[in-house]
Amino acid sequence: MPLDRLTPDGITLRSSKTGKMAIIPWDDELIQLVKEIKADNLAQGKQGPTLFSNRYGRPYNKDSFHSRWQYGMRKAIHEGRIERFTEHDLRAKHATDADDQGFDATTNLQHSDRRTTQSYLRAKKVLRVSTLGAEEFISD
């Protein structure tokens, strides 16, 4: 992610499939996370033109990013902090949480059709059922 995507309004994204633009607005957690990533880059070497950069300040290529992802995943699993997940799982989790909180998951995922979004929504939602009055089952 190029650093110029970090704007005063938030992080701007462009969909690689549709070219649609979106902005993730800043909140305290996101601000802190970006600060920590930049500080980590500087601690390892230098900050390059992208948010995630190697110790020389250069962006990770696809293979390097995949290696870093796998390293972090193995470490977190070994420490018992998480179960294995994929980048696709993150997208599905976001869609499900957005939908549960009343947000438009279709817009958040930048889909043009709600049916596409449905494939991301988790089918593990707990249903709330109504009870029948107990007096209907008690005989004198």
More confident residue, 130 or 71: 71
> Is pLDDT of 32 > 90?
yes
126 DSSP 8-state letter:
P
> Is pLDDT of 85 > 80?
yes
Q: Could you report the per-residue pLDDT of 97-139, keeping only the tens digit for each?
A: 888 899 998 988 888 888 888 887 865 556 677 777 655 555 5
pLDDT at 77: 94
pLDDT at 139: 53
